């Protein structure tokens, strides 16, 4: 055994190691403001563009809402999504899934913005 690793040397080295490691630094929680705002804005844009097209005489093409101009159903659905998704995002972040929460917010925003863009491009 080399002289460096004698039992007395190892005991002295072990005595220098603290019993408990230092406490871990708390990780900063990422902000969910931007993804929440994106989710709400995307859904609001879809609702507003749909109502705008209703005023221009267009009907709803989404079969889930039925035919015609179901203003109440569209507003109720968009309000539920626009308010429910941020609550779900907050709970996901609390449970340790902030990245999933962010993607959910941005995805929901895009899922509203794309139909809004299509709505605004509607022509007769």
Angle between helices 98-120 and 71-94 (to 10 degrees): 160
pLDDT in tens, the chain (124 residues): 556 677 777 787 777 777 777 777 776 667 999 999 999 999 999 999 999 999 999 998 888 888 889 999 999 999 999 999 999 999 999 999 999 999 999 999 999 999 999 999 999 8
Task: Judge whether 69 lies within some domain.
Answer: yes
Q: What is the pLDDT of residue 28?
A: 63
Task: Judge whether 96 lies within some domain.
Answer: yes
Count of CA atoms in the C-beta half-sphere (13 A) of 103: 4
d(CA 101, CA 90): 7
Q: What is the pLDDT of residue 2?
A: 55
Q: Which of 110, 57, 62 shows the shortest CA–CA distance to 85?
A: 110
pTM score, two decimals? 0.73
Task: Judge whether 47 lies within some domain.
Answer: yes
Q: What is the pLDDT of residue 11?
A: 80
Domain count along the chain: 1
Domain assignment of residue 84, given as a range:
40-124
């Amino acid at each position: 055994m080399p002289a460096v690793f004698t039992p007395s040397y190892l005991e002295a080295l072990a005595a220098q190691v603290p019993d408990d490691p230092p406490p871990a630094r708390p990780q900063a929680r990422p902000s969910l403001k931007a993804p929440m705002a994106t989710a709400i804005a995307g859904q609001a844009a879809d609702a507003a563009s749909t109502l705008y097209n209703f005023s221009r005489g267009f009907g709803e093409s989404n079969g889930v809402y039925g035919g015609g101009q179901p203003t109440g159903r569209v507003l109720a659905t968009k309000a539920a999504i626009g308010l429910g998704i941020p609550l779900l995002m907050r709970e996901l972040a609390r449970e340790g899934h902030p990245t999933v929460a962010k993607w959910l917010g941005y995805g929901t925003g895009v899922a509203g913005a794309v139909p809004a863009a299509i709505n605004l491009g509607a022509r007769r």
